[in-house]
Amino acid sequence: MSLAKSPANRPSTVGDLKSSGYHPAHIKEEIRRNLISIIEKGDRLFPGIVGFEDTVIPQLENAILAGQDIVLLGERGQAKSRILRQLVTLLDAEIPVIAGCEVNDNPFSPICRRCKDLVSDKGDGAPVSWLPRDRRYGEKLATPDISVADLIGEIDPIRVAEGRYLADELTIHFGLVPRTNRGIFCINELPDLAERIQVSLFNLMEERDIQIKGYRIVLPLDVMLVASANPEDYTNRGRIITPLKDRYGAQIRTHYPKLPEHEIAIIEQEHSRFADTRDRVIVPQYMKEVIAEITRLARKSPEINQRSGVSLRVSIANYETLLGSAFKRSLRRREVASPRVSDLPGILASTTGKIELETTEEGKEGRVVEDLIKKAVVNVFNRHVGTADLSGLVTRFDSGLIVETGADIPSARYVEKLRGVDDISKVVQKLVPSEEPATFASAVELILEGMHLNRKLNREMVSGRYQYRR
């Protein structure tokens, strides 16, 4: 139960809280109740997560309604961490805790020694504070140096030095998990936890309590445990111990976007935005498709290690690089610009660090990326232009037409040379119905490169630029 009151009117003591009629709920009951409300209202769960509406999210809803701990299994860049962090939106806006408590104690049922003594001493006068939902989520990336003390707790030597006995529970410094009591705790890359650390989670996941450093103390924590993992590590025996895997109620497989439009929607949602770029760069839809197609092809390439995956960050970074290249041209040429095929070589820098090749041959990354670009361009060209009649344009080239392209050529030069050529203008209009010189130049480059890759035109490099001819 959440109390929707202004800060001034919220209960400030245990007695006030009792009088208000507040009834605490366990964390999974709270999340479940709020999910039920979302479903009944027909609201969207996890806005901003694209492409999982019919796959991952229904499974998550089932797991939450079943009260299960969850592990998300997927390659890098599949929004696992984002989904787990958005579970916070299913928590109440705020909950009451005993003021100053390290483990967010329920005012009606404290579990730590400090709060038990406080309530025993002050009774209904014990102070209460309010904890917002964003402070009820804890997260830890599994690394080899993590200790049991980090997650569970340890003796605090400073508290001992202050005069307390070692047997005193107040000497304990609680770890990350107890400090997320009555909240959600996430372990990213779960299989990277050392086995002895994995063992320390057994009691927490099954009996819902922890034991610290040999103390005769049991803390009945109320925590929802979630995790992320790479499938290769999670299913490889020895990386995660079977009893821990068995304790997670739901293992949900994430995936990369199944449709190009989903990849493009994510690119548009996630890329870095700058007002000056937005005002000076126009991006045709087909160039977004080229970027998404490069990533899609990379996810199928036998030359790229598919076990590590090809992240969505590849698409996002490549799109940002393309925008940057077009923006640079707009500054130098003092014109509105559009990304072109001649800008695509620039994505080498934003791609190579995000893919892993099956072999480590010197210089092979560049050749692989170049091949992906060519295949993506021809696929998008065939999709948009393939049915157009290009015979007239081919005839123009047979008659001696030569077109030079390059990232540094002003858009106006394309217009001056080709706007009067009806055969190419018709195809440009099919690609992008605009009178803007920048989009005209961009479309021309796609058409010429697509014709070259379909063996209708020859192309050669001359002084750093491409010349297309028959």
- Return phi, psi of residue 144, to 5°: -60, -20
What's the number of domains the chain is made of?
A: 2
Q: Where are the alpha helices (DSSP H) in 209-284?
A: 231-234, 242-247, 260-270, 275-280
Read off the pLDDT band of 361 (50, 70, 90).
confident
* Statement to judge: residues 46 and 109 lie in one domain: yes
Read off the pLDDT band of 3 (50, 70, 90).
low
* Statement to judge: residues 268 and 192 lie in one domain: no
Q: How many residues does the chain have?
A: 470
Report the alpha-carbon distance of residue 453 to residue 379 in Å, rounded: 10
* Per-position DSSP letters for 35-52, written without gaps between them: HHHHHHHTPPSSTT--S-
Helices (H) and strands (E) in the chain, counts: 21, 12
pLDDT of residue 426: 85
pLDDT of residue 5: 56
* Statement to judge: residues 249 and 278 lie in one domain: no
- Of the three residues 199, 233, 253, the one that is the final residue of a domain is 253
Residues 6+ apart with CB under 8 A from 430: 384, 385, 388
Identify whether 1 is part of a domain.
no
Read off the pLDDT band of 213 (50, 70, 90).
low
- Of the three residues 234, 253, 272, the one that is the final residue of a domain is 253
Identify whether 53 is part of a domain.
yes
**Tens of pLDDT, residues 19-36:** 999 999 999 999 999 999
Is residue 267's pLDDT more than 80? yes
Per DSSP, the three-state class of 465 is: strand
Is residue 430's pLDDT more than 70? yes
Report the range of poorest mean pLDDT among 129-133, 320-324, 385-389, 461-465: 385-389
Is residue 199's pLDDT more than 90? no
In this predicted model, which residue has the larger pLDDT, 244 or 441? Answer: 441
* Statement to judge: residues 102 and 18 lie in one domain: yes
Over range 301-328, report the average pLDDT: 94
Read off the pLDDT band of 216 (50, 70, 90).
low
Residue 70, strand partner residues = 226, 250
* Statement to judge: residues 276 and 239 lie in one domain: no
Over range 189-194, report the average pLDDT: 88
Read off the pLDDT band of 61 (50, 70, 90).
very high
Query: Residue 157 is which amino acid?
Result: P
Is residue 195's pLDDT more than 90? no
DSSP for residue 127: B
Over range 30-46, report the average pLDDT: 95
Over range 248-265, report the average pLDDT: 94
* Statement to judge: residues 231 and 132 lie in one domain: yes
* Statement to judge: residues 216 and 284 lie in one domain: no
Identify whether 42 is part of a domain.
yes
* Statement to judge: residues 325 and 390 lie in one domain: yes
pLDDT of residue 167: 61
**Tens of pLDDT, residues 280-307:** 999 999 999 999 999 999 999 999 988 8
Q: pLDDT above 70 covers what percent of the chain?
A: 93
Identify whether 178 is part of a domain.
yes
The first and second tokens of residue 353, run together, are 């660090």
Identify whether 226 is part of a domain.
yes
The sign of the torsion formed by the CA atoms of 270, 275, 281, 285 equals positive
The first and second tokens of residue 317, run together, are 């970074």
**Taking a C-beta distance cutoff of 8 angstroms, is the pair 30, 104 a contact?**
no
pLDDT of residue 387: 66
- Of the three residues 202, 219, 253, the one that is the final residue of a domain is 253
* Statement to judge: residues 205 and 295 lie in one domain: no
pLDDT of residue 7: 65
Look over the chain and give the mean of its residue pLDDT values, rounded to a whole number: 89
Identify whether 2 is part of a domain.
no
Query: Residue 72 is which amino acid?
Result: L
Report the alpha-carbon distance of residue 416 to residue 114 in Å, rounded: 81
In this predicted model, which residue has the larger pLDDT, 369 or 421? Answer: 369
Is residue 37's pLDDT more than 60? yes
Read off the pLDDT band of 420 (50, 70, 90).
confident
pLDDT of residue 196: 82
**Taking a C-beta distance cutoff of 8 angstroms, is the pair 38, 61 a contact?**
no
Report the alpha-carbon distance of residue 210 to residue 208 in Å, rounded: 7
pLDDT of residue 138: 95
Report the alpha-carbon distance of residue 118 to residue 116 in Å, rounded: 5
Residues 6+ apart with CB under 8 A from 288: 264, 267, 268, 319
Report the alpha-carbon distance of residue 80 to residue 217 in Å, rounded: 35
Residues 6+ apart with CB under 8 A from 95: 2, 24, 104, 130, 131, 136, 182
Over range 387-402, report the average pLDDT: 85
Is residue 269's pLDDT more than 90? yes
Per DSSP, the three-state class of 126 is: coil
Read off the pLDDT band of 161 (50, 70, 90).
low
Is residue 237's pLDDT more than 60? no
* Statement to judge: residues 229 and 271 lie in one domain: no
**Tens of pLDDT, residues 169-185:** 777 788 899 899 999 99
Which residues constitute the domain of residue 28?
7-253
Angle, helices 364-385 vs 422-431, to 10°: value is: 100
* Statement to judge: residues 68 and 202 lie in one domain: yes
Is residue 243's pLDDT more than 70? yes
Identify whether 352 is part of a domain.
yes
pLDDT of residue 4: 53
* Per-position DSSP letters for 287-311, written without gaps between them: HHHHHHHHHHHHTT-TTB-TTT---
From the list 77, 38, 29, the residue with the least C-alpha distance to 57 is: 38
Is residue 146's pLDDT more than 80? yes
pLDDT of residue 238: 58
Residues 6+ apart with CB under 8 A from 424: 393, 396, 418, 444, 447
Over range 85-105, report the average pLDDT: 95
pTM confidence score:
0.86
Report the range of poorest mean pLDDT among 79-88, 251-260, 389-398: 389-398
* Statement to judge: residues 423 and 347 lie in one domain: yes
Identify whether 360 is part of a domain.
yes
In this predicted model, which residue has the larger pLDDT, 361 or 175? Answer: 175
